[in-house]
Amino acid sequence: MTTSPPGGRCTRADGIQERAEARTTMDEKDVIIVGLGPTGAALAGLLGQRGVSVAVFDRLADLYPLPRAIGLDHEVMRIVQELSLADRLAPHIAPYRPSAYRGTKGQLIRRLDSAPPPFHLGWAPNYVFEQPAFERLLRARLEELPNVVVHLSADVERVGQDDDGAWADVRLAGDTETQRIRSRYLIACDGGASLVRKKLGLVLEDLGFDEPGLVVDVGVDDDKLAQLPQTQVQYCEPERPCTYVVCVDNHRRWEIRLNADDRASGEWPEEDLWPLLRRWIGPQDGRIWRSATYRFHGLVAREWRRGRILLAGDAAHMTPPFMAQGMAQGMRDALNLAWKLERVIRHGAPEDLLDTYQQERKPHVTATTRAAMTLGELICERDPERAAQRDARLLDEQGGAVQTMLRQDLIPGLTSGLIKTGSPEAGSSLPQPFVHSGRFAGRLDDISGATVRAVAVEPLRPDERAALIGALTPVCGVLVELGEGGVAEKPLVKAIDDDTVISAWLGTSGQRIAIVRPDHYVYGTASSAAEAVTLLLDLRTWLIGPDAADRSN
């Protein structure tokens, strides 16, 4: 049966007219989000803050109760900062400890750590965190946004689209009938088993990783903590590969690979869990908080957009946990989508802008997932002889002594999409220094906003400043001049880079000005104001449409 707008008629395949099955009682929104996990909640918040109206539907009555993400990175913290949640989240995060990879004889074979200060993006590169607390804070933020409406215990039974927009047939809690909710766009953030993805017939591509695992979260007693490892440990042992994670406060996590004769699904009773943990702790040392079995996959959707419906988070990709990047991938999706949807919905940008979402995110997700898979393959080698060869090879590759690898070196920048290919630093993230200007002292994003920015590493001449502000104004952009403080009123911000991270970063490529997108990725860099204006004119065609750009000239 084909559908028509709510309240109208639809035509069956045999041509008979009949009333649409779903009734419509809810106001139309700009965006429908299906799923209120971290990706959906962050996307709703980012859109709401941008003035976009959002309706969110989640089938659960409360948070997902089983263990999920344990790590986040500085890109996620930058999003948290934009959502005004950094201070609220602080009690629920801790620096991510170094990761020691131990071989078949317990020897150190690899070491991962985070880059030292000054921090490139204004936050430590990696943190452990408590996901339930994080999700509670995200949901509380949504309650503060009047243009965001959240419905829990809401079953989305059907989705679709037509020339006028997208729609979802939703059965709200306590209702016996479905309502048809309309919007301009619908974003599926409904997890790895995404109903929306399946309804659309979108296929997941298998990158070739499938490993069963058991995750156990334990609250360890104070007097036992000192006897446990003080870093993260990857036990690369063929008989039972395992990951140990130092979490926030007394929380410790074990991720244990399952053997062929283990229960691969369903609930594990405590009496079966403690024998797996006896190497480290026993029932007298703490309490098991929660546990779950998973299959760790490397999967990426072949198609991320079907007209007005797009996928994000686990609905679009699944990453094994060996780099703590699963949730971070979804949060990057949310920020990428949020600013582009705002531009299309509120500023008349061409809908082709939304095609750059997959162009950018799919290669980035695929590369990051493959990096996680490579680490997972090292950890999960089950053949004793090959594992011994792995240990020897890794040490040989490091010159006979273990060298520290920086985790963030494994995360790529953007390589395609809305960037000026060939421009130095295009596709990288703009550093976020601590700056001061007049009475303001804090992180750069807090003074400039998360918008289009031209960032100059030294003061500009009056004519250069005027030309750049003229090119920025049509896209509501901001000019940031580093080197002298005193002006902090948009569209001009003059500030002093207390960390000198931007000047050091841009100076390596001999450039003077960076043109930056609202998601902090660099569109391109320039050695002169005239080159920077040209970059802005190229970019703004995507952000306000060619007709609007012509009218502004």
Residue 512: CATH number of its domain:
3.40.30
Angle at 221 between CA 219 and CA 223, to 5 degrees: 150
Residue 147 included in any domain: yes
Residue 262 included in any domain: no
Residues 450 and 312 in one domain: no
Residues 347 and 447 in one domain: no
H-helix or E-strand spanning residue 86: helix 86-89
Residues 68 and 155 in one domain: yes
Residue 111 included in any domain: no
Buried b (16+ CB within 10 A) or exposed e, 501-537: bbbebbeeeebbbbbbbbbbbbbbbbeebebbbbbbe
Residues 343 and 465 in one domain: no
Residues 477 and 342 in one domain: no
User: What is the pLDDT at residue 484?
Assistant: 87
Residue 62 included in any domain: yes
Among 317, 337, 355, which residue terminates a domain? 355
- What CATH number is given to the structural domain containing 23? 3.50.50.60
What's the average pLDDT block by block, 10 residues per block, for the chain (553 residues)? Answer: 30 31 69 98 98 98 93 98 98 98 97 95 97 98 98 97 96 94 98 96 96 96 98 97 98 96 89 97 97 94 98 97 96 98 96 98 98 96 98 97 96 97 97 93 95 96 97 96 88 94 92 98 98 97 72 51
Residue 520 included in any domain: yes
**DSSP code for 116:** P
CA distance 269 to 276: 12
Among 320, 336, 355, which residue terminates a domain? 355
Amino acid at 540: R
Residues 345 and 454 in one domain: no
User: What is the pLDDT at residue 548?
Assistant: 57
Residue 401 included in any domain: no
User: What is the pLDDT at residue 546?
Assistant: 62
- Pull the structure tokens for residue 125: 């590169």
Among 325, 355, 385, which residue terminates a domain? 355
Whole-angstrom CA distances from 230 to 220, 233, 252, 406 are 13, 9, 11, 19
- Pull the structure tokens for residue 480: 């940031």
Domain count, the chain: 2
Residue 513 included in any domain: yes
Candidates 359, 295, 362; CA nearest to 329 is 362
User: What is the pLDDT at residue 267?
Assistant: 86
Residues 332 and 455 in one domain: no
Residues 59 and 160 in one domain: yes
Residues paired with residue 216 on neighbouring β-strands, in sequence order: 254, 291
Residues 22 and 154 in one domain: yes
Residue 150 included in any domain: yes
Candidates 418, 431, 541; CA nearest to 123 is 431
Residues 326 and 474 in one domain: no
Residues 445 and 349 in one domain: no
Residues 350 and 438 in one domain: no
Residue 523 belongs to what domain range? Answer: 434-552
